């Protein structure tokens, strides 16, 4: 089936437009080809602009008074009217194109293969461990009042805390909403399972809604479209973090190992100003904490300080007694 644009082009080529409408179109096309009266800089922009001009004529955006006066004005005046209308169309098109680039973030899709775990760091600092033949679609940067993504399959989430911007995951018919917490979502042919590790998770589907707390599990039965909550088994909770760097519970652990695990989890490089700090030990549960919060706890415990520059962390301290 032909589009409106194609039908209009066909009418133009067959000479079915009125004489003055065709004359006006000719002037517009010529000016677009020469690049004389519009801000489009490339051939692609000129083609898009031409399409927009034609669409404007088709929808009646060209002022009728201007078309009527064309019948009685000189060729020079006709050119002036055409150029003015083209400038307005071009200006609105370029402005729209610029605003679109600025306000609509690029969407990315990442997939994981069979038996693998793929870690993704989102723009807000949230971590996602994408598991076993799954895919995640998310914006390159978050904008607006919500942080919204789409999951197909299974993933473990460590969501950065932001009370003003809810984090929303669409997984089939199930919508998961959180402010900052950690949980695992798993989709099978029959159902969708959500196991909460920390914080509080809101689940909604088909008019149903429940709140799930740590050590609880929610199950959405696809065929019955039913959402229910059950208690999660201990081994089930353990299996959700398998193959990830989620667990950051340290007990009298040497700083050299602590640093290695932090670097692996957050994809950063930590340099020690004083190598003696490697011999210190740390007892702290830093699970489900951001990089900044993790470093805050370490430096407070060891009476040290740190500087974060991009993906490099410089840790300064006197060692430990």
Q: What is the pLDDT of residues 256-309, one digit of tens each?
A: 999 999 999 999 999 999 988 998 999 999 999 999 999 999 999 999 999 999
Ramachandran region of residue 202, left (φ > 0), alpha (ψ -120 to 50) or beta?
beta
Return the biggest CA–CA distance within the chain.
97
Q: Residues near 143 by Cβ (< 8 Å), separated by ≥ 6?
A: 103, 105
Same domain, 35 and 113: no
Same domain, 223 and 147: yes
pLDDT score at 206:
87
The answer on pLDDT for 38 being more than 50 is: no
For residue 60, the enclosing domain spans 4-103
The domain that holds 288 is classified in CATH as: 3.55.50.30
The answer to whether the beta carbons of residues 50 and 32 sit under 8 Å apart is: yes
Domain end among 208, 240, 272: 240
The domain that holds 142 is classified in CATH as: 2.60.120.1440
pLDDT (mean) for 3-8: 54
pLDDT (mean) for 180-188: 94
Q: From the CB of residue 6, how many other CB atoms can be counted at a distance below 10 Å?
A: 10
Task: Give domain status of residue 321, yes or no.
Answer: no
pLDDT score at 320:
79
pLDDT score at 319:
77
Task: Give domain status of residue 311, yes or no.
Answer: yes
**pLDDT band at 50, cuts 50/70/90?**
low
Same domain, 186 and 276: no
The answer to whether the beta carbons of residues 89 and 62 sit under 8 Å apart is: no
pLDDT score at 62:
45
pLDDT score at 140:
93
Same domain, 183 and 73: no
Domain end among 58, 75, 103: 103
Same domain, 190 and 299: no
Strand 269-272: give its sheet, edge to edge. 269-272, 312-316, 305-309
Domain end among 215, 240, 265: 240
Same domain, 225 and 120: yes
The answer on pLDDT for 158 being more than 50 is: yes
The 10s digit of each residue's pLDDT in 213-262 is: 998 999 999 999 999 998 888 888 889 999 999 999 999 999 999 999 99
pLDDT score at 41:
43
Higher pLDDT, 277 or 42: 277
Q: From the CB of residue 55, how many other CB atoms can be counted at a distance below 10 Å?
A: 14
Same domain, 53 and 138: no
Same domain, 113 and 92: no
Same domain, 87 and 115: no
Same domain, 67 and 114: no
pLDDT score at 71:
43
Q: Beta partners for 131?
A: 117, 154
Q: What's the number of domains the chain is made of?
A: 3
Same domain, 233 and 133: yes
Same domain, 235 and 191: yes
What token pair was written down for 267?
Answer: 């994809």
């Amino acid at each position: 089936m032909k589009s409106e644009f194609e039908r209009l082009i066909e009418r133009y080529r067959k000479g079915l437009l009125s004489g003055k409408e065709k004359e006006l179109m000719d002037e517009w096309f010529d000016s677009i080809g020469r690049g004389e009266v519009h801000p489009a800089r490339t051939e692609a922009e000129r083609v898009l602009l031409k399409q927009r001009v034609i669409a404007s004529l088709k929808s009646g955006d060209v002022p009728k008074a201007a078309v009527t006066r064309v019948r009685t004005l000189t060729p020079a005046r006709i050119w002036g009217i055409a150029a003015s209308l083209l400038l307005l169309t071009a200006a609105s098109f370029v402005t729209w194109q610029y605003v679109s680039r600025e306000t609509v973030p690029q969407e990315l899709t990442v997939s994981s293969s069979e038996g693998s775990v793929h870690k993704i760091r989102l723009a807000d600092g949230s971590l996602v461990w994408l598991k076993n033949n799954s895919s995640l679609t998310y914006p390159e940067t978050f904008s607006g009042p919500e942080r919204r993504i789409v999951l197909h399959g299974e993933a473990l989430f460590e969501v950065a805390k932001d009370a003003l911007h809810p984090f929303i995951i669409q997984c089939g018919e199930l919508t998961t909403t959180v402010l900052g917490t950690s949980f695992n979502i798993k989709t099978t042919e029959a159902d969708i399972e959500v196991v909460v590790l920390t914080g509080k998770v809101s689940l909604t589907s088909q008019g149903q809604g429940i709140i799930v707390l740590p050590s609880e599990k929610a199950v959405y039965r696809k065929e019955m479209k039913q959402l229910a909550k059950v208690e999660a088994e201990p081994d089930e909770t353990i299996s959700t973090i398998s193959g990830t760097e989620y667990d950051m519970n340290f007990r009298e652990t040497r700083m050299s190992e602590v640093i290695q695990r932090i670097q692996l989890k957050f994809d950063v490089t930590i340099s020690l100003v004083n190598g003696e700090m490697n011999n210190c030990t740390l007892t702290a549960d830093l699970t489900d904490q951001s990089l900044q919060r993790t470093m805050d706890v370490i430096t407070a415990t060891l009476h040290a300080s740190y500087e974060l520059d991009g993906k490099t962390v410089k840790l300064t301290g006197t060692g430990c007694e």
